[in-house]
Amino acid sequence: MQKDNLVFDLIKKELERQRNGIELIASENFTSLQVMQAMGTVPTNKYAEGYPGKRYYGGCEVVDEIENLAIDRLKKIFNCSWTNVQPHSGASANAAVFLAVMKPGEKFMGLDLSMGGHLTHGSPANFSGKTYHAIHYGVTKEGIVDYDQLEARARAEKPKMIICGASAYSRDWNYERIRAVADEVGAIVFADIAHPAGLIAKGLLNDPFEHCHIVSSTTHKTLRGPRGGIIMLRNDFENPWGIKDPKGNLRMMSSLLDLAVFPGSQGGPLEHVIAAKAVAFGEILSNEFALYGKQILANAQVMAKAFVNRGYNLISGGTDNHLMLIDLRNKGITGKKAQETLDRAHITVNRNSVPFDDKSPFVTSGMRLGVPAVTTRGMKEEHMEMVAAMIDKVILNVHDDKTVADVRVKVKEMMQQFPLYPELG
């Protein structure tokens, strides 16, 4: 069979883009080479509908071992009694949670997308907002989750589920307070920890498992694995909400969630990706990963301070985790323009709405930055100051092509000090 040079030339081009740029998209990271190698292996050929020991196809004895290894490692990471490693993505994991515990039209609460929430937490453009009755809480003028508003709305609306978690929120969560109001109104607490999961795994942020009934995450971002999703329970339980399976039987929560993933929302699991998840989970269990998490926090703190010192308006005034959200209105530039111009300098960020934004989601007043990927490359605190200075230079000279070009040269020179996948040539 002839090699498809067109596709592989494009892949090589993408490798060079990643190598030569500064990656600051908070939801992106660089996997280890062995994670990528695991994804490109023969389990991609295997259909394995069902779960280990209970498959609907023959020949699953080896992929059963792979999936069980991923499950066992994930249980150790988060001290869980049950996990499901099959969701294809974080959105798939969240969809399965909804399917397991909610009926169409039932009420739930989530952080408003415009305030830093996620599409699957009730956006009217998403299944969560289309299928279910979404009620939102927001943040205060200071950019902190408005727990008073959350409590008042929960008491008034009595939602069946409360979601805590975000895609553009730089502070830790008060899971204990959310659980207290949930218990008062009889709600399920569902934590989506897709962004801070790697930091939570090493005890660097509050533990949602102590207070939340169900927890989901992606496996990329701060977990630094392949793109995928997971669902977890610290302790399995008989659901007190009387939720039944499709046959009308009461079941343990783990069983309801398993059924919601397969056959409820997915068919055959991606066993090659599950193999890569298992590799990544093994890496997370190492002491080296704990040092990585601590460096993420250190880098984020230095970068946040560097922007504040340059007069940038950080939502909530700083960060507790790996990301920061910057309101650019006092700099006279939109998020869209900042993203596009920084792209030309080979600094990758994403435009993002800020709380109480007066611009559309296609333009936005802000940009979101995260440090997991540059931390993986080996960058330390002193480099965060340099990166902030380069971003500031581009934003202050957005119409000066020469300045942007000069920064692009400096970016490439800097990133050559931090080789990415040198084994790939």
CB 355 within 8 A of CB 116: yes
Q: Give the predicted TM-score (pTM) of the model.
A: 0.97
CA 359 to chain centre: 24
227 is catalytic: yes
What are the backbone dihedrals phi and psi of residue 167, each rounded to the nearest 5 degrees, phi first? -115, -10
Q: What is the pLDDT of residue 224?
A: 98
Given this model, what pLDDT does residue 244 score? 80
Helix, strand, coil percentages, rounded to 5, for the chain: 50, 15, 40
- Nearest 5°: the CA angle 344, 18, 276 is 150
Q: Tell me which residues of the chain have a pLDDT lower than 70.
A: none
Q: What is the pLDDT of residues 21-46, one digit of tens each?
A: 999 999 999 999 999 999 999 999 99
What is residue 227's predicted lDDT score, i.e. its pLDDT? 97
Q: In sequence order, which residues have a C-beta less than 8 Å from that of residue 242 and are 6 or more positions away?
A: 250
Whether the CA torsion 302, 305, 311, 314 is positive or negative: it is: positive
Task: Catalytic residue, from 28, 49, 245, 392: name it.
Answer: 49
Among candidate residues 221, 224, 234, 277, the one labeled active-site is 221
Tell me if residue 343 falls in helix, strand or coil.
helix
Is 357 catalytic? The answer is no
* Confidence (pLDDT) at 247: 83
Selected from 3.40.640.10, 3.90.1150.10, 3.30.540.10, 3.50.50.60, the CATH number assigned to the domain covering 288-424 reads: 3.90.1150.10
pLDDT at 1: 83
Q: What is the mean pLDDT of the chain?
A: 97
Question: What is the reported pLDDT for 425?
Answer: 87
- The question of whether 221 is a catalytic residue gets the answer yes
Task: Specify the pLDDT at position 387.
Answer: 98
What confidence score (pLDDT) does residue 198 get? 98
pLDDT for position 245: 80
What CATH code is assigned to 34-284? 3.40.640.10
Out of 192, 271, 283, 327, which one is annotated catalytic? 192
Q: Which of 218, 319, 334, 375 is catalytic?
A: 218
Give the model's pLDDT for residue 424: 94
pLDDT at 341: 98
Catalytic status, residue 319: no
pLDDT at 249: 85
Of 73, 227, 277, 408, which one is the catalytic site residue? Answer: 227
91: helix, coil or strand? Answer: helix
Q: Which amino acid is at 401?
A: D
Q: Where are the domains of the chain?
A: 34-284, 288-424
pLDDT at 246: 79
